[in-house]
Structure 1
């Protein structure tokens, strides 16, 4: 059974987030989409990790940007995992699952992040398997300048007419909103505009059930098996 939802950082409730074991479990469970986070190493290599610092997920300390990719991959994580490069992830998941690549850009913190990520997507011929998201407007505009075909979308807590107007102007086909601020008005507006709406990050079964009333909205979750349980219960009623 294919699960129409977004596995947030893979399956972080059972495996270290943003690692290959976490990603492959999401594929095994049948999720259609996977969200992952990308930073840039000191030597300009896109690496997959959520935080700008290493302390929470590895035995290292300090900023991601202060380490080379080789140094980052030598750090220890739980369950014998390591920080993967984006190249490693794309190679392993090509043809297996749709990828939501979130650029962890802040202003010009990583000057070449957008270019390096897009180069890899082109290298692996995965334009149709990837959509690129960010909280950073400028990062998405840089991606759009590289290609009119790549799917892009803003991540935001709430929504507004200005955000929808920007999305239309940029040809964005995706919008990610914190689930608490997803309203029926914006669900309908996004459907009207042809923008795919995602609600993040939903880990409570009661909220998952609520969003079953809005099948056009993708649910982003850490609780993959709980989401499957909710789907199965809903389909049995």
Structure 2
């Protein structure tokens, strides 16, 4: 079974990385969601892609310099708010697994702590999570804190490099851009035991191609197309 992973929720339908977008992804048949996290000035883990709020909200400034109360006052497309990672997990609990992408610096420790709490106190399993990043050091910290947390190596440059990092980090998955995938490098990754979760695949022809390569999961703005 190919995992249908909603990119920042259902980005093709509703504002990215909002509770409403994640809910829409589930309605459209996603059995996993992908989201991005930063740590704000008051220490909470917030779900937003960019290092600033400028593009996606009516506010301005760097996420790590703004408090949670300040961030919550901003509006996304005049309707939505920036969610906490906890709010997203509580929304999707028992309905899908979650790919947490570490965007901001210093996100590994609080994300690992939150995952541990959800596993120990709220009935989640480590297999309900994959923590991915382009940042090797953040992934190293996750593995050092808790080797049970599954990690995935993101790349938009080279599948071979992702496999190399995955070997070094004892990763469970690689997350290459779909344009990098070939029959050979997919077979190489899978022979080493790595799942392939590829992004961001929106067009029907591209979806057919990556499905034919036998990837384990597809990240898409349009999970209904998967």
Which of the pair has the greater relative contact order for Cα pairs under 8 Å at 6+ separation? 2
- Per-residue deviation at 1:29? 2.1
d(CA) in 2 for partners of 1:84 and 1:154? 25
Residue 52 of structure 2: SS of its match in structure 1?
A: coil
CA distances 1:64-83 after superposition (whole Å, capped 9, x unpaired) = 11110111011111262100
Show the counterpart of 2:56: 57
Show the counterpart of 1:232: none
The 1:211–1:161 alpha-carbon spacing in structure 2 relative to 1, beyond 3 Å, is: closer
Indicate yes or no: 2:182 matched with 1:174: no
Structure 2 unaligned regions, length at least 5: none
Contact preservation (8 Å) 2:45, 2:85: yes
Indicate yes or no: 2:112 matched with 1:118: yes
Runs of 4+ residues deviating >3 angstroms = 160-163
- Per-residue deviation at 1:30? 2.1
CA distances 1:199-222 after superposition (whole Å, capped 9, x unpaired) = 211111111121231233422111
CA distances 1:125-173 after superposition (whole Å, capped 9, x unpaired) = 1322111000000000000001111100110113354432331232101
Indicate yes or no: 2:3 matched with 1:9: no
CA distances 1:94-151 after superposition (whole Å, capped 9, x unpaired) = 211110000003xxxx33x211111111111132211100000000000000111110
Q: TM-score, structure 1 length as denominator?
A: 0.88
Show the counterpart of 1:200: 199
Q: How many residue pairs are counted as aligned between the two chains?
A: 221
Contact preservation (8 Å) 2:166, 2:172: yes
d(CA) in 1 for partners of 2:63 and 2:101? 16
Structure 1 unaligned regions, length at least 5: 229-237
The 1:133–1:217 alpha-carbon spacing in structure 2 relative to 1, beyond 3 Å, is: same
Q: TM-score, structure 2 length as denominator?
A: 0.92
